């Protein structure tokens, strides 16, 4: 007989314990109930009973036995990521409670794409932290689609990213920094100091691959079409600015990227942006947040004000 999700939820909240969830993760990781029981500081009989109780509540087998131990069933494989998320959330609750008892007065959960880290947060976070020593700032670096999803699930208070095509309901996007697409190379690259570089010049050199997804890839495809199908590629793809810089230093490569990704390297004189018609505006960097949080979360409001104080954003008419 099929049991409704509502009834299962009622059973879980009434009978499931955090120790049950911990046991699932340990058995999945260690592959053996005896080892998992030792890791959880339980007797094997207690662990066996706890696992049987949880499987009875859920109404299905989570593990199956085999010659060398235990492995997840399809049901167990589907449950494991959510069980881990639940334990991580509980761990975060413990950290928050511990921090507040130790004098922390607020926790700010910030999601950021790579361009936001290099273009904005490397300046904003140190100064904001100095001014607000009682605030714990937890920064999550993710790709754009993942960070917006984490924000939608309530795991983040604010996201610093490029302007999304569609702003979620009840949210606002505050532009903070202009951005543009650039072609960069090392200071020793043959094109680094060449005036009036042309598309044909670019076509004669090898390119570091851009990541296969994201807004930069779409813009690079347009440049690729102008260069031609015979473009030479170094088949290393990474979103890491450090890996990008290391590859450009290692050999004479070109890379098409967002300016804010490499802003620190250009300002430090370690990379060169090659001027030309391929430079074009990209969506601005800014803060995505919930309107209600902006109004009622004092710490978040202070952080946004601090970001705005460092903002160099100008609209299409040159106005801040």
- State yes or no: pLDDT of 316 exceeds 60: no
Question: Considering the domain 104-177+283-309 in this protein, what is its CATH number?
Answer: 3.40.190.10
Q: Domain spans of the chain? A: 5-99, 104-177+283-309, 178-282
| CATH superfamily, region 178-282 | Periplasmic binding protein-like II (3.40.190.10)
**Measured in Å, how far apart are the chain's first and last C-alpha atoms?**
63
Higher pLDDT, 28 or 7: 28
- Rounded to an integer, what distance in angstroms lies between the CA atom of residue 88 and that of residue 50? 21
Q: Which residues contact 125 (CB under 8 A, 6 or more apart)?
A: 137, 139
Phi, psi (rounded to 5 degrees) for 168: -55, 150
Q: What is the pLDDT of residues 101-110, one digit of tens each?
A: 655 678 899 9
Q: Stretch 69-79: mean pLDDT, rounded?
A: 89
CA 179 to chain CA centroid, nearest Å: 19
Query: What does each C-alpha distance from 14 to 47, 252, 304 come to in angstroms?
Result: 19, 63, 41
- State yes or no: pLDDT of 25 exceeds 80: yes
Asked if the domains at 5-99 and 178-282 fall in one CATH topology, the answer is no
CATH architecture of 5-99: Orthogonal Bundle (1.10)
Query: What does each C-alpha distance from 320 to 110, 117, 178, 309 come to in angstroms?
Result: 24, 21, 10, 11
Q: What is the pLDDT of residues 275-294, one digit of tens each?
A: 998 888 889 999 999 999 88
Provide the whole-model pTM: 0.68
Look over the chain and give the mean of its residue pLDDT values, rounded to a whole number: 86
Q: Are strands 158-162 and 106-112 parallel, antiparallel or unpaired?
A: parallel
- Average the pLDDT over each of 69-73, 91-95, 179-183 and give the range with the smallest value: 91-95
Q: Stretch 209-227: mean pLDDT, rounded?
A: 81
Query: What does each C-alpha distance from 181 to 59, 78, 210, 280, 283 come to in angstroms?
Result: 54, 40, 12, 5, 10
Check residue 230 and give its pLDDT.
77
- Rounded to an integer, what distance in angstroms lies between the CA atom of residue 125 and that of residue 130? 9
Tell me the percentage of the chain whose pLDDT exceeds 70. 92
Nearest to 275 by CA among 201, 216, 208: 201
């Amino acid at each position: 007989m099929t049991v409704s999700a509502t009834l299962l939820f009622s059973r879980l909240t009434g009978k499931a314990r955090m120790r049950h969830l911990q046991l699932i993760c340990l058995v999945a990781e260690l592959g053996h109930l005896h080892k998992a029981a030792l890791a959880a500081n339980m007797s094997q009989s207690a662990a066996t009973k706890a696992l049987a109780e949880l499987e009875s509540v859920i109404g299905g087998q989570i593990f199956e036995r085999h010659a060398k131990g235990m492995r997840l069933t399809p049901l167990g494989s589907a449950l494991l990521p959510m069980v881990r998320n639940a334990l991580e959330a509980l761990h975060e609750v413990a950290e928050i409670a511990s921090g507040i008892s130790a004098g922390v007065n607020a926790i700010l959960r910030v999601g950021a794409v790579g361009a936001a880290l290099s273009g904005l947060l490397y300046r904003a976070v140190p100064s904001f932290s100095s001014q607000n020593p009682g605030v714990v700032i937890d920064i999550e670096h993710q790709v754009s689609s993942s960070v917006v999803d984490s924000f939608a699930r309530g795991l983040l208070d604010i996201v610093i990213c490029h302007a999304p095509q569609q702003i979620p309901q009840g949210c606002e996007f505050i532009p903070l920094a202009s951005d543009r697409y650039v072609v960069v190379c090392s200071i020793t690259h043959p094109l680094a100091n060449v005036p009036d570089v042309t598309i044909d010049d670019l076509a004669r050199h090898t390119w570091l691959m851009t990541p296969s997804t994201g807004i930069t890839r779409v813009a690079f495809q347009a440049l690729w079409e102008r260069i031609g199908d015979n473009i030479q590629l170094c088949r290393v793809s990474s979103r890491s600015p450090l890996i990008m810089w290391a590859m450009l230093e290692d050999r004479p490569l070109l890379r098409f990227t967002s300016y804010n990704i490499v802003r620190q390297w250009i300002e430090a004189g370690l990379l060169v942006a090659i001027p030309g018609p391929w430079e074009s505006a990209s969506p601005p960097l800014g803060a995505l947040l919930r309107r209600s949080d902006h109004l009622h979360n004092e710490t978040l409001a202070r952080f946004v004000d601090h970001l705005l104080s460092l903002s160099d954003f100008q609209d299409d008419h040159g106005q801040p």
